[in-house]
Structure 1
């Protein structure tokens, strides 16, 4: 449907309601040339939920029940070489 700008100005709310009801776009013209188009809003699908969106993407590899009984380095004290004291540059010999 085409309507000139003066008519649109006079009947704006009615024409917008018509577009919403009929789902037909409305072209506004000025001096016979189209200047704007009013189209109905389409319902957008809701975004997927953040909870469970990665369901089924993981994979279990190996045995997660009977894990090897290897002691951790924190339990045995083997990690002492990982914690070397940091010496500031100005106090170096």
Structure 2
């Protein structure tokens, strides 16, 4: 369930509310004169950088072997 809070109250407790969003993963809707104007949502957790592409590249041939066909420019 989303928490709804007025802009003045959000301003007074901003840092604590940001910590709450990070801890509970629950969004907060900020209102001004009873109308929603902003929403604070948690960012998704970062993926592990190392190993993120593991298994996504396929090796089809030997990349260090000499070319089998001669190029016209090499003659």
Cα distance in 1 for residues equivalent to 2:15 and 2:57: 45
User: TM-score normalized by structure 2?
Assistant: 0.65
Gaps of 5+ in 1: 68-73, 80-93
Name the structure, 1 or 2, with higher relative contact order (CA <8 Å, separation 6+).
2
Give me the CA root mean square deviation: 3.0
User: TM-score normalized by structure 1?
Assistant: 0.54
Bigger fraction of residues in strand: 2
Aligned residue pairs total 62
Aligned to 1:10: 12
- Structure 1 segments, 4+ long, off by >4 Å, are none
Gaps of 5+ in 2: 69-73
Quote the offset at 1:53 in angstroms: 4.4
Cα deviation per residue 1:1-34 (whole Å; 9 max; x = unaligned)?
0000000000000111111111100000000000
